[in-house]
Amino acid sequence: MAERDKEEMELDIAKMEFDFRGTSVICRSGSPLILADLKKVSVSKAHAIIVLAEDGNADLSDARALRTVLSLTGVKEGLKGHIVVELSDLDNEVLVKLVGGDLVETVVAHDVIGRLMIQCARQPGLAQIWEDILGFENCEFYIKKWPQLYGMQFEEVVISFPDAIPCGIKVSALGGKIILNPDDNYVLQEEDEVLVIAEDDDTYAPSTMPTVKEAVYINIVRPARNAQKILLCGWRRDIDDMIVVLDAFLAPESELWMFNEVPESDREKKLIDGGLDFIRLENISLVHREGNAVIRRNLESLPLESFDSILILADESVEDSAIQADSRSLATLLLIRDIQAKRLPFKEALVSQIHRGSFSQGSWIGEMQQASDKSVIISEILDPRTKNLLTMSKISDYVLSNELVSMALAMVAEDRQINDVLEELFAEEGNEMQIRSSDLYLREEEELNFYEIILRGRQRKEIVIGYRLADADCAVINPPSKDVRRKWSYKDVFIVITEKE
């Protein structure tokens, strides 16, 4: 339901050429603030109600969402389902939860994308894995009771599913709280539920315990985190929240360079007004530079070749227009890569060319690709069509904002409990998704099946959910045939859920 013409909506949906697989989509013209219109769509009988953010100003959009939630809570018949609200600003979340109470789950689009960008900047390749898990085409999270597992320890539960990977427990004794990555010796109690990653809610079930070799512990101490140098290009309204998250994630003595058109004299006030407490920043120091990110000479004043990661934000000055914001991000990305390529020593460039073997000498796209080996660039993209340009060029790891947020909204609409899982995986504390080097779990050319890899991961208090082979473009989440042995290489990587460092 929207305040648009019914035929217009149907036409727009038809243009998308979805395969609905038997689902019928019904459009109604109306306002969520009018009870008679809400009756048109039988709102009281809905399994879930999604309140979408409107284009344009964030505060106006959130104010409208708040009024919609008020209207929904006033439905006389009451609501059968829950309300999932897409918000634009984290500061407005408290108000919506105050009004909606237990009926409401919130997904703060800007906050989710900001945190995701930070995680992907630290670990290239994570964006694709999040797309796989949030999208319904591959594997995603499901929660279910399995009485036959009651009394078993989690270390046994974790290898009990041939077609799923258990990664948490919904503990009934704690009022249904979901514990991600629990201790191995936790014993499953009656009414507890198991959180898994699986292809669908009817594609998995526990089976007899597989035969696995004794998992030999490989005691490799991970190197200490090094201080990093990060560049933020652009300014967004929740940049103060991003700074707090970066401070939590980065090692001490890291530098955060901020490059945007906001006058340096105004920045401190804007950040303090947003809620940033400079005294609490423990790990990062801020370096301010003023300039326009689409003007080459402005960018050339920065030491672009020295940054570990560069985050290109959809600047708040153009965020009302997805096409304009993406054009700006794309121009900034190409300029940065070109400047980096020109500054790399010739010998280094040549070695990289030979190593890749995928482009001709002197090719500008090739120079940019080899520059991407030196630093990670994460671009915030608002329009899905821009994604194809970045995918083809392979010069940036990207985050596709609107699409990922839509996926999260759909997942929480399907099962509201999943919101707690996503919130923890995006937060500064608790567990997160990470990409790990295979030498932490195995020796070169060692023959192991995936169950044995899972058990080695458990010795490090990690849950291994998938892998990416050295010669593959995509990761495999919840692999089939977990009992089949194969030789692994040190160039392979594993995807794990583990406690934040």
pTM of the shown model: 0.84
Q: Would you state the pLDDT for residue 397? A: 66
- What pLDDT score was predicted for residue 411? 92
Domain boundaries, the chain: 31-108, 127-198, 222-395, 426-499
Pairing relation of β-strands 193-198 and 229-233?
Answer: unpaired
Backbone CA torsion sign across 85, 86, 88, 90? positive
CB 494 within 8 A of CB 453: yes
| 127-198 and 426-499: identical CATH topology | yes
* 327, burial (CB in 10 Å: exposed 0-12, middle 13-18, buried 19+): middle
Residue of 401, 271, 244 lying closest to 329 (CA atoms) = 401
Task: Output the pLDDT for position 363.
Answer: 46
Show the CA angle centred on residue 341, arms to residues 335 and 343, nearest 5°.
105
pLDDT of res. 394: 60
The series of mean pLDDT values per 10 residues for the chain, 501 residues long, is: 92 84 89 89 94 84 93 89 92 92 92 88 83 82 94 93 95 93 94 93 87 66 80 90 90 93 90 87 93 94 91 83 85 89 62 42 43 72 74 66 87 93 89 89 85 90 92 88 89 91 72
Distance CA 186, CA 188 (A): 6
Q: According to the CATH classification, is domain 222-395 in 3.40.30.10?
A: no
Per-residue confidence (pLDDT) for residue 368, from 0 to 100: 41
Distances (CA, A) of 262 to 112, 158, 219: 24, 50, 49
* Architecture in CATH for domain 426-499: 2-Layer Sandwich (3.30)
Taking domain 127-198, whether its CATH number is 3.30.70.1450 is answered by yes
**Distance separating alpha carbons of residues 164 and 201, to the nearest angstrom:** 10
- The domain 31-108 having CATH identifier 3.40.50.720: the answer here is yes
